[in-house]
Amino acid sequence: MSVQYKLRAEPMRPLIAGNWKMHGLIAQLAEIKSIAAAVVAGNPPADILICPPATLIVRAAELAGHRIAIGGQDCHPETAGAFTGDLSAEMLKDAGASAVILGHSERRQGHGETDAMVAAKANAARRTGLLSIICIGETQSQRAAGRTLQVCRDQIAGSLPIGMTPAELVIAHEPLWAIGSGHMPTAAEIADVHGHIRMTLVTRFGSEGRAIRILYGGSVTATNALRVLALPDVDGALIGGASLKAIDFDAIIRTVAASAPGWDQPADRAEPPVEVHDLDSSKRK
């Protein structure tokens, strides 16, 4: 039987989430085993989540044990029914998931998912007790037109169902042009957008909106993770490519841990301090 790790919203701990997308056969479960072992050994002050393909959730949850959580990448709004190829939130939960990524841009763009559909799916996640990681983010052209903040506000307004509580929710801000591209907004841009997302959440939820984790996603690697995570209102990261290999994902997790004050860091894991500066891709290799 799998043991589900409870993802905590409070007190605010960074959430480091891996999105495996449509990658991973049974052989890749060894990566989850390695990540789980590294997390148990290092005990970083962060919640760790891996969202593998649905075919691996049961086995991944068994391997993940108490210290890392397993999640789905999508769910259907209904509990069960004639929906060939779909999975319900109940099925994800039954398989060992504690969370579900909803409204990823690859689903919004590739499967025509609207904000209303994302909200219906988030309702299903609530019904089942899964944490919803709701993805929002602007395209390159929306960004160029100066519409980033409005797009994020509108997506939050449309994708969160009525009645959703802060404890049930994580927001992942993923600029579409940054996903898998090796490009990123500048540090100032990330901080600006996340600050506006925070204010949007506070407007909706009152002071409880301050406890909702806002993840940044888009080309996060071990090299830039600390600089991103040091920014205000960045409470973790949603990571695609760099989550597929334990060695890369663990390096990000260790970098996060190195930034946390008071963490009892094993000596051989000490990382040199990294100065916070712009993440302008033009300045990176």
Question: Residues 6 or more apart from 62 whose CB is under 8 A from it?
Answer: 1, 2, 96
Least Cβ distance, residue 182 to ligand PEP (angstroms): 8
Least Cβ distance, residue 265 to ligand PEP (angstroms): 25
Closest chain position to ligand PEP (CB): 240
Assess contact for 236 and 210: CB atoms under 8 A. Answer: no
Beta carbon nearer to ligand PEP, 90 or 222: 222
Least Cβ distance, residue 180 to ligand PEP (angstroms): 4
Choosing from 90, 106, 168, 174, which is the catalytic residue? 174
Choosing from 31, 76, 104, 138, which is the catalytic residue? 104
Beta carbon nearer to ligand PEP, 103 or 218: 218
Examine the residue annotation and report whether 90 is marked as an active-site residue of this protein: no
Write the DSSP string, the chain: ---PPPPP-SS---EEEEE-TT---GGGHHHHHHHHHHHHHH--SSEEEEE--GGGHHHHHHHHTTTEEEEES--BSSSSSS-TT--BHHHHHHHT-SEEEES-HHHHHHS---HHHHHHHHHHHHHHTPEEEEEE---HHHHHTT-HHHHHHHHHHHHSPTT--GGGEEEEE--GGGTTTS----HHHHHHHHHHHHHHHHHHHGGGGGGSEEEEESS--TTTHHHHHTSTT--EEEESGGGSSHHHHHHHHHHHHHHSTT----GGG-----------GGG--
Beta carbon nearer to ligand PEP, 5 or 177: 177
Beta carbon nearer to ligand PEP, 98 or 243: 243
Least Cβ distance, residue 210 to ligand PEP (angstroms): 24
Beta carbon nearer to ligand PEP, 52 or 218: 218
Which positions lie near ligand PEP, rule CB under 6 A?
Answer: 19, 174, 179-180, 217-220, 238-242
Least Cβ distance, residue 30 to ligand PEP (angstroms): 21
Examine the residue annotation and report whether 104 is marked as an active-site residue of this protein: yes
Query: Which residues are marked as active site?
Result: 104, 174
